[in-house]
Amino acid sequence: MKQEYTLTAYTEDQMGLLNKITIILSRRKISLESLNISTCEIDKMYRCTLVINDTLEIVRNIALQIEKIIEVFKCYYSTNDEIVWKQMGLFKVKTSSILNEEMNHLFRKYNTRFITIEKDFTVFESTGIEDEINNLAAKLKEFELIEFIKSARIAVTLNSDAFQV
């Protein structure tokens, strides 16, 4: 049965990393839901977080293939129940539209934080799971949403083990 998995790969700075991952996934006709590459807890190492939707067997094979072909140190896969994850959304709305009770309710409900308030527009952020960010964006369309962008998933595992080089 298909479900959402988060793959976490630890690698050194490597040319062509994204291209190699794309080749592995495109050969299997798997869509990439989210991708984040950043520094991590280990000096001179990077953490690549991928989100895909497939079966456990396929995901396990992809993790093994990433370790072998891309020469990463380790690639883990986790279900949403095995990780803590968040995404962030940035929203720009007309300033005149935020001055009402309904908007105040939305800001409290989605735990938003104002970034900048200008005469013509206001920018704020909200952090949560993907559905929360998408729901807020949908509701803000009623209040003159000008721009919206959502970050890739960032995640840590719920177990206490850490990756060791």
Domains and their CATH numbers in the chain: 3-83 (3.30.70.260), 84-152 (3.30.70.1150)
Q: How far apart, in whole angstroms, are the C-alpha atoms of residue 78 and residue 66? A: 15
The residue among 163, 142, 136 whose CA lies nearest residue 47 is 163
The residue among 54, 87, 78, 88 whose CA lies nearest residue 158 is 78
Q: What percent of the chain has pLDDT over 90?
A: 72
Backbone angles phi, psi at 136, to 5 degrees: -65, -45
pLDDT at position 162? 62
44-61 per-position pLDDT tens digit: 889 999 999 999 999 999
Report pTM. 0.85
The residue among 17, 13, 26 whose CA lies nearest residue 52 is 26
